[in-house]
């Protein structure tokens, strides 16, 4: 649990660093390379997955029914505040626990929810991977807007390790 907590905290801190460099206009600017979405929308999406996990109280997570807070995609200061709170909550976690993941994986049946056994640690691992992939999209959009970002933003740890092996003398 120690490593996944640390990696999530590190990732969320890097997201806060990126958001802190953006004006409200840049944060909410439509970008064609992400299908006219905004980086703010992607950051909101990442944040809401973490909120879903951290608000479970060890019982059930349903990403489908998460609260969608449009302020998180429009106001970078609110996003930074919420991410900072999530970091504190992750740091406070002392042990893993079993959780039920409730989801609807049907494209046509609104009532096709099912439950899957999972754990807090597994969902933190999922949130981490999920965030990395959304950050890759954010990186593309930010680069198109002419905003410099960290070279490793949106790159999975396994890819970074592989790159280091290939580049090692």
What is the rounded average pLDDT for all residues in the chain? 94
Tens of pLDDT, residues 102-141: 999 999 999 999 999 999 999 999 999 999 999 999 999 9
Q: Which fold has domain 2-167?
A: 1.20.120
Locate the DSSP E strands across 58-152.
60-61, 98-104, 113-119
Could you tell me what percentage of the chain is helix, strand and coil, using 3-state DSSP and rounding each to the nearest 5?
A: 60, 10, 30
Longest distance between any two alpha carbons in the chain, whole Å: 56
**Where exactly are the structural domains of the chain?**
2-167
User: 91: which residues sit within 8 A by CB, 6+ positions away?
Assistant: 5, 9
Dihedral of CA 142/29/16/131: which sign?
negative
Instruction: State the Cα angle at 128 between 122 and 134, rounded to 5°.
Output: 135
**Residue 33 to residue 140: CA distance in whole angstroms:** 7
Tens of pLDDT, residues 46-88: 999 999 999 987 689 999 999 899 999 999 999 999 999 999 9
Share of the chain above pLDDT 70, in %: 98
């Amino acid at each position: 649990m120690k490593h996944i907590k640390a990696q999530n905290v590190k990732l969320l801190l890097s997201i806060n660093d990126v958001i802190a460099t953006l004006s409200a206009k840049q944060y909410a600017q439509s970008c064609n390379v992400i299908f006219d979405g905004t980086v703010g929308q992607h950051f909101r999406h990442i944040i809401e997955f973490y909120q879903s996990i951290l608000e479970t109280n060890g019982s059930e997570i349903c990403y489908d029914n998460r609260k969608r807070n449009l302020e998180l995609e429009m106001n970078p200061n609110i996003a930074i505040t919420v991410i900072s709170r999530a970091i504190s909550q992750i740091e406070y976690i002392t042990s893993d626990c079993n959780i039920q993941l409730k989801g609807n994986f049907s494209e046509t049946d609104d009532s096709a929810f099912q439950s899957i056994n999972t754990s807090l640690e597994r969902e933190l691992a999922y949130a981490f991977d999920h965030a990395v992939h959304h950050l890759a999209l954010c990186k593309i959009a930010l680069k198109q807007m002419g905003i410099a970002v960290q070279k490793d933003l949106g790159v999975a740890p396994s890819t970074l390790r592989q790159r280091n092996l290939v580049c090692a003398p």
